[in-house]
A and B are shown apart, each in its own frame.
Chain A
Amino acid sequence: MKRTHIFILFIILAVAQIAIPAQMIFNRESILESGTAYKFKTEPVDPSDPFKGKYIFLNYEVDRVKAEDKNWVRNQEVYISIANDNLGFVRATSASLEVPKTGDFVKAKVDWYATDERTLQFSFQFNEFYMEESKAYNAEVAHRKAQRDSLPNNTYALIYVRDGEAVLNNVFINEIPIATFVEE
């Protein structure tokens, strides 16, 4: 193969190499811009990823919803319709396998179905919040402390939602961004 051909192929590859992360960014930015923000009550714990660094794993309080028994399979994708409760936090209203026609909804994965309670247990996929390495563990501690000395659960994640896709924007303890809260 001639050098110029190789170079042209390389340029195509290079464009793809930039396009993939860029597309990830644009996708997220557009949801942050035009999506609706919801507050999800949560509990952070601290794991880490070999390439992406430290993150806190978010255990969401909303993790079940009343649903019909439809032979749910573990790890199956499910659409959870959401709405705000009177305190301004999110609650799940229904679960369905098809894309809901009205209202906001997010994708989640089925954990299991409790037949006697007729509830579906699920987990949201936006449960990794990346933090500076020194702060990730402290965030977990800070949340536990804040839990002890004030209102019931006062830690929540701000999630932007549009067409089932969700972007985790920030995590707040007592209305203060978690990174700032940890510093104090």
Chain B
Amino acid sequence: MISKLVKELPDLVTNDVISQEIASKIEQYYLSKQENTPNRLFAVFGVLGSLLVGLGIILILAHNWDNFARTTKTIFAFLPLVIGQCFVGFSILKKKSVAWKEASGTFLFFAIGSSIALVSQIYNIPGNLSTYVLTWIVLSLPLIYLLKSNAVAILNVIFITYYAVEVGYSYYTINETPWLYLALMALVVPHYYRLLKYHKVANITSIFNWLIPISFTIVLGTFVNDLSELGFLMYLLLFSLFYNIGKIPFFDDQKLRRNGFLIFGSLGIVIMVLTMSFDGFWDMERFFLNAQETYISTFLFIANLGILAYSYSKKWLKLFNLFQYLFILFSALYILGLNIPVVGTITVNLIVLALGITTIKIGADKFHFGVLNYGLLIITALVTCRFFDTNMSFVIRGLLFVFVGLGFFLTNYIMFKKQKLKVKSLKN
């Protein structure tokens, strides 16, 4: 960005837009700014390098060199660990740059994993993957705070998720719930909070804005045990929670691509609702209150409500946005509609239509072509789904498609015209 502007300067000077003096001032300003920022590229490559070397060491050790004696192998188990610790200790003690801390932290992270793995290998220690990963996480998590390292934090979030998946989805532990996942994630939260507070617009923060919803989305399924009917509601509530978090002005005022919560929440809601719009979905048999799933749903519901109430008290809810209130409707529908499939199906179909229209309106208000077409896509998806499971005549189905297609053309065209008008009026 900076270099692009500096490159444009001579052109601006020759065309008499700015004077030579201003041009050199701008150049000076950016040069001095560049000197002060740490070399990001160096940090990125440092982390990538350590990551590859660390993974490489794990693979090399996994070869299982059986010509070596047990003592030699044991020394090799500790060698990468000690080297990693020396690097980390050095960068703490000498107050080295961010690049140093990130790279050495990443290396030590993998060294910890490789040393436990190698010891288990030398002594044929059996054990499931989840306990192994858990030990690894516990031994490496403090590094996040000691080094203030983003790379270690990202690796930890990934491995914590992996741990939960291993416990919750694997065949051997079918009915176990990885409650520890929540505790471990809670330990990473302070780091995320610090990023949000001090580095709101940094790229690394937006990586976390995406990583955290992804992790929760993957793991929520492990909390579903007996009452799988409620699984859909749980996911809908989770996505609604993401959406509501993403709608808090702190996130909402940022660029859309940084707002993982909003995008993930919105896509999630649409996918869930579309799934529920099918005819057979609402033929559910059982529903009981005293289950883990009910408690989690209740918790998510209250969390949603809490955020809405807080937003209301802060006067953030200026425009009515159906996405934000959807969870109330669905929770009610879930409790009431379970016995009457027709009600569920019809209501959900109407809701999807309303969501599509809401999105189109948001897109039009914000002059955002992406959002506008996303709304149209929601409606298209709805029509496509109904194409397969209703007994409508072909003529009606055909007409529906034609109308939606025309909708795409018209809305985009109208908005395009409006935008042109706006640019014109700005010029005058």
Q: State which of A33-41, A124-132, A146-154 sits at the interface with chain B.
A: A124-132
B62 to A51, Cβ gap below 8 A?
Answer: yes
A68 to B63: give the CA distance in the assembly, Å.
45
A31 to B135: give the CA distance in the assembly, Å.
22
Nearest Cβ in chain B — how far from A79, in angstroms? 17
B142 contacts the other chain (Cβ, under 8 Å)? yes
For A132, give its contact among B63, B115, B125, B126 (CB under 8 Å).
B63
A118 to B185: give the CA distance in the assembly, Å.
46
For B63, give its contact among A16, A24, A133 (CB under 8 Å).
A133
B419 contacts the other chain (Cβ, under 8 Å)? no
Q: Given A21-B78, A131-B66: A51 and B88 within 8 A (CB)? A: no
Name B40-84 residues within 8 Å CB distance of A: 58, 61-66, 74, 77-78, 81-82
Residues of chain A within 8 A (CB-CB) of B63 are 53, 132-133
Interface size class of A (residues with CB under 8 A): 35 or more
**Chain B: how many interface residues by the 8 Å CB criterion?**
42
B66 to A25, Cβ gap below 8 A?
Answer: no
Nearest Cβ in chain B — how far from A162, in angstroms? 14
What 1/0 mask marks residues of chain B from 87 to 103 whose CB sits below 8 Å from any chain A CB?
A: 01100110100000000
Q: Which residue of B lies closest to A167 (CB)?
A: B123
Q: Which of A18, A53, A135 has most chain B Cβ within 10 Å?
A: A53
Nearest Cβ in chain B — how far from A105, in angstroms? 18
Nearest Cβ in chain A — how far from B91, in angstroms? 10
Q: Given A28-B125, A126-B126: A3 and B93 within 8 A (CB)? A: yes
A54 contacts the other chain (Cβ, under 8 Å)? yes
B146 to A127, Cβ gap below 8 A?
Answer: no
What 1/0 mask marks residues of chain B from 340 to 381 whose CB sits below 8 Å from any chain A CB?
A: 000000000000000000000000000000000000000000
17 residue pairs from A and B, CB less than 8 Å apart: A3-B93, A11-B89, A20-B139, A21-B115, A24-B123, A25-B74, A25-B119, A50-B129, A51-B62, A51-B113, A51-B114, A51-B129, A52-B62, A126-B126, A130-B120, A131-B64, A132-B64
Given contacts A9-B142, A53-B63, 8 further A-B contacts (CB under 8 A): A13-B142, A14-B89, A21-B119, A24-B116, A24-B120, A51-B58, A52-B118, A167-B124
